[in-house]
Structure 1
Amino acid sequence: MKTNWAFLKLYVKKIILVGTLYFLPGILPGQEALTLEDCLRLALQNSRQMKISNMSIQQSQEKIWETRAQRIPSFTLSGTYTHFGKVSSFSIPMGPTTRTFQFGIPDRANLDARVQWSLFTWGRISSSISMSRLGKDLSITRRRSDLTQIIYQALQGFYSVLLNEKIIQLHSENLQRAESLWQITQKRFAAGGIPKLEVLRAEVQVKNTESTLEEARGNLKKSRLFLSKTLGDPQYSYQIKGQLQYVPLSIVPEEIIEKALAVRSDIQTLELQQDISRQQVKLAYSSNKPNLSLFSGYNVQNGFDPTNPESFVSNWNMGLQLSFPLFDGFATVHKTNQAKIESQKTTLQKEELQDLVTLQIQQAVTTLEQAALKIISQEKNIELAEEALRVTTDQFQQGIVSSMDVLNAQQTLAQSEMMYTQALFNHIMARIEISRAMEDFSWFTLDLQPPTRSEKQSK
């Protein structure tokens, strides 16, 4: 696989950003509300998946050393001690005396040292080492994918909490308007200016708004649970600070797609798997090829000399061993075919993933554009709805219109505010999706910086 220098530069920048976030002072429960930067740092510090990914890289490095060991001669030292209950012997008359000879001795000891070195394996060792190196590259690439996923989830959780907090604020304001109308209708009913139906209608609106507000609080609780899990402490409810901001973007979908296809870690994972499959084909092809190895040994034992069985005798040997599997029942052919099929499967998976990434980006860009248009239109609609509510409320107090007109104006304003907030959230989520596709979250760099004084005043 060719080195992508543009990707390497991007990856180095990401590592620097992550390292900066990781080594900044930690945030403890009970401290002030968390910023987006705090959330990202906690998510990276407390992620079990990142720890697992780091362990996988260490494990793959150990695998490399294991496969490299095949090139180093192996040394085996063995020793045995054996006690025989009965030892065979025979006697030979020699003149006036008789001499007895034993076949060995009751207590025998043997020390054996052997060295074996594989000289030629038809590329099997080289293929194994290459596969282990690719395995480490695969672990590093998967770690980058895990890093992207953690940042993605942290951004998702952070802005989901902001969305639900904003929705609660809008429902609370809507409830205040509904209660204000209810109070006005009660006063006018007491004065005989309107029928009881007007009061009941306003009261129903208050109850409905209260129910909607409670539902929004439940959604906020669920979004905080998700954020707490992402930050590594599911039992603690974090408070955050931030705003849903509209950041206009000028993007070219083709450039986004090209960049995503060049740097996506899951695509590079499949490319590495393709390389591994090629090595597996080579390994399978060589399984029925000859092996040549050098061996040598040194041995020390007693009981070997029949004239002096107690003495220790040493010996050594050296030689070459050639093994050539002539027939393995066509197992090698089937192994090779399996490896080739696996390589073809990986190629198809890569093509399918590239199409899926392209589709995801196209959909996210469409969502981004739609949300931007809705944000602009709803800003104007909110101004019109606020003016309409003010005029309708004044006319109701003057007895020109009914409470139904005021309720309709309130609902129109609430709907416009909700659509504007949802469009803001959709725009941010589309930015997150596109950033995830490119594995580049630099669009959110401004969100990591505290607002200036002029920005605070404008807000």
Structure 2
Amino acid sequence: MRKTVVFLILTVSGWAAMAQTSATPLTLEQCRKMALEHNKNVQISEIKVESADALSKAAKAQYFPNISFTGTYLRTNNELQLLSENKLLPIGVKYADGSFGPATPTYNASTGKITSESLNNSWTKLPDGTIAPLDKNGTPFNPKTNPEKLEWKNYAYLPADQTRVEHKDFYLGAISLLQPVYLGGKVREVNRMAGYAKQISETKKKMEDSDVLYGVDEAYWRVVSLQEKVKLAQDYNNLVTRLNSDVEDMYKEGVITRNDLLKVKVKVNEVELNLTKAQNGLELAKMALCQEIGIPLESDITLADLPKPQLTTLKDTGYASYALNHRNEIAALDLASKLAQSNVNLMKSRFMPNVVLTASYMAANPNPYKGFTNDFGLDWNVGVVVNIPIFHWGERHQTLRSAKLEQKVATLKTEEAKEKITLQVKQAMFKVNETNRRVAMTQKNIERAEENLKVANDGFKEGVLSASDVLEAQALWQSSISENIEARNEAMLSETNLKKVLGELR
């Protein structure tokens, strides 16, 4: 919300400033600043940086335990039943040696009584005084050495329908904790990749800023150039109009022919049409600049700067190597190569075992810890989960191979970009030197054209030269100044382009 308010304040203040542009001309630096504040592509780049930052923070959260709550409600159609059929549960005792069998009565010699009732067999007292059971034939035997002779006749009856869980509604709630212990380096590489992605977004924003600044410079110098051309067209129109007035007077006096008069009038119409075209072009150029700096297209703006080329000859003093160290494109491609390498490491981690610590606290109804009664049973558990990949039909090998190939592609793209940037630097340097020479040549042409126009005017006044000669001299003068204006505009843009290819346009 705060960013939105700041953006609105900047927008309103920018529009308010535009109301005074007719009195306060805009400088190039002001236009650049306004463009960076209002350009939609710049705003999109800023949003992408914020998005990448959010993803980076999300990746860091993978180091910490994941705590969640799960609630389940289940309605069954049938009741649960623990036994499938009725059961007979034999009754017995546990002997001193730990074995289980039918209760064996013991004889107390002092009282002469049996202290435990027989469960199944008949019992007798042997001559040595011990008590032993009788088999079905009435013969005594040792139940420990001949347990097969025992007949179990006393049982507890357990009906199956009495083991039903008389509930169809089941509730389960659990708070769980999942803490990665070792995932083969996955979490580390994911964090690295998120960090690289954030840096790439920041680098691309700088690239977008550079493109916006170049677009502003191009639009700005176009307006400046057209302003000068409109002024030139007005001066040219004044010259031709004044010549037309002189020719009309001379025609009335019979000094020149009507053909000379018509030539001048045609030229007047042509110059007026060119003036109108220049004025329309200026208005369109101003609208384009307004769009670049984010103000209403109909704003009346004036510009303060004039193109002032350096007019120096550049010599190669390591411009290419400087550009390779400062270009955002190279930085972005280097980060992309690191990102690809991290992806290779991530694919390698899929071959490694995964160890995760788990813990949970749960509540269940019916209570499984209390005979499935209608209340909540509570319990907690901790555990360690280990997953070791063994065989996946080559799927992980192929994904690793694909990641390695992508890493090679990223390296080749970086090498190709370095070659192209080196070529761009050379071209930009040649363009600067070429436009500077053109500015110097057109300035000399202006001096010659002005001298030629003065000679033509003097000759026309003296009657030595015709109106056509003056028109030709005026056209040459206008053409030389127009070429100089274009040359200076190209020179300023070539300097901006050189800064851009060197990575200095910020």
1:159 and 1:428 map into 2 onto residues whose CA distance is 8
Question: Which of the residues 450, 473, 497 maps onto 1:386?
Answer: 450
The structure-2 alpha-carbon separation of the partners of 1:191 and 1:282, relative to structure 1 and needing over 3 Å to count, comes to same
% identical aligned pairs: 22
User: How does 1:37-436 map onto structure 2 within 5 Å?
Assistant: 37-82=29-74, 87=79, 102-242=164-304, 243-249=306-312, 251-303=314-366, 304=368, 307=371, 309-436=373-500
- Among 8, 24, 27, the alignment partner of 1:35 is 27
Cα separation, 1, equivalents of 2:430 and 2:78: 93
- The two structures have a TM-score, normalised by structure 2, of 0.76
Contact in 2 for aligned 1:46/1:232 (Cα 8 Å): yes
Change (3 A) 1:203 1:153: same
Deviates more, 1:401-410 or 1:273-282: 401-410
TM-score (norm. length: structure 1): 0.83
Bigger radius of gyration among the two: 2
**Does the Cα contact within 8 Å between 1:101 and 1:307 map onto a contact in 2?**
no
Give 5+ residue unaligned stretches, structure 1: 1-21, 443-459
CA RMSD of aligned residues (A): 2.8
In the other structure, the counterpart of 1:440 is 504
CA deviation string 1:139-162 (max 9, x = no partner): 111111122122222111111100
Secondary structure of the residue that 2:343 maps to in structure 1? helix
- CA distance 1:350–1:106, shift in 2 (3 Å): closer
Letter in 1 for 2:352: K
Partners of 2:79 and 2:394 in 1: CA distance: 51
SS in 2 for 1:317: strand
Q: Please tell me whether the aligned partners of residues 311 and 436 of structure 2 are also in contact (alpha carbons under 8 angstroms).
A: yes
The alpha-carbon distance between structure 1 residues 101 and 281, as it changes in their structure 2 partners (threshold 3 A), is: closer
CA distance in 2 between partners of 1:332 and 1:252 (Å): 54
- Is 1:75–1:113's contact at 8 Å kept on the other side of the alignment? yes
Which string of whole-angstrom CA distances, capped at 9 and with x for unpartnered residues, describes residues 312-345 of structure 1? 3333332222222322232222222222222222
Equivalents in 1 of 2:187, 2:241: separation in Å?
80
User: Which letter maps to 1:349?
Assistant: K
Question: Which residue in the other structure is 2:92 paired with?
Answer: none
Q: Structure 1 pair 385/100, CA: closer, same or farther in 2 (3 Å)?
A: closer
State the match for 1:10 in structure 2.
none
Distance change (3 Å), C-alpha of 1:137 and 1:88: closer
Quote the Cα distance in structure 2 between the aligned partners of 1:300 and 1:381: 95
Counterpart contact for 2:288–2:297, Cα < 8 Å: no
Distance 2:170 2:409 in 1: 60
Q: Structure 1 counterpart of 2:181, which letter?
A: L
What do the CA deviations read for 1:268-298 (whole angstroms, capped 9, x no partner)? Answer: 1111100001111111222233212122233
Amino acid aligned to 1:114: S
State the secondary structure of the residue aligned to 2:318. Answer: helix
Please state how far the C-alpha of 1:441 moved relative to its aligned partner: 4.5
Q: Is the 8 A contact 2:310 2:436 kept in 1?
A: no
Q: Within 1, Cα distance between the matches of 2:247 and 2:80?
A: 123
Q: Is the 8 A contact 2:330 2:414 kept in 1?
A: yes
Q: Which whole-Å deviations, capped at 9, do the CAs of 1:117-155 have from their partners, x for residues lacking one?
A: 221111111111100011111111111112212222211
Separation in 1 of the partners of 2:483 and 2:207? 34
Shift of 1:103: 1.7
Higher helix share: 1
Could you tell which deviates more after superposition, 430-439 or 131-140? 430-439
Q: Secondary structure at the match of 1:288?
A: coil
Relative distance call for 1:230 and 1:134 in structure 2 (3 A) is same
Match of 1:325, SS?
A: coil
Give, in angstroms, the shift of residue 182 of structure 1.
1.7
Q: 403-412 or 354-363: which moved more?
A: 354-363
Say whether the 8 Å CA contact 1:174–1:410 is kept in structure 2.
yes
Structure 1 residues 290 and 374 mapped into 2: Cα distance closer, same or farther (>3 Å)?
Answer: same
Q: CA offset at residue 308 of structure 1?
A: 6.4
Within 2, Cα distance between the matches of 1:111 and 1:426? 74
**Partner Cα distance (1:87, 1:43) in 2:** 73
> For 1:254 and 1:346, how far apart are their aligned partners in 2?
30
Distance 2:204 2:416 in 1: 19
Please give the per-residue CA displacement for 1:181-220, whole angstroms capped at 9, x wherever unaligned: 2222221111111111111111121122222222222322
1:288 touches 1:328 (CA, 8 Å); kept in 2? no
The Cα of 1:43 is off from its aligned counterpart by 1.0
Matched residue SS, 1:114: strand
Mean CA deviation greater in 416-425 or 36-45 = 36-45
Judging changes above 3 Å, is the alpha-carbon distance between structure 1 residues 343 and 272 closer, same or farther for their aligned structure 2 residues?
same
Q: In the alignment, what sits opposite 1:447?
A: none
306 and 439 in structure 1: CA distance in 2 versus 1, 3 angstrom threshold:
closer
Counterpart contact for 1:64–1:133, Cα < 8 Å: yes
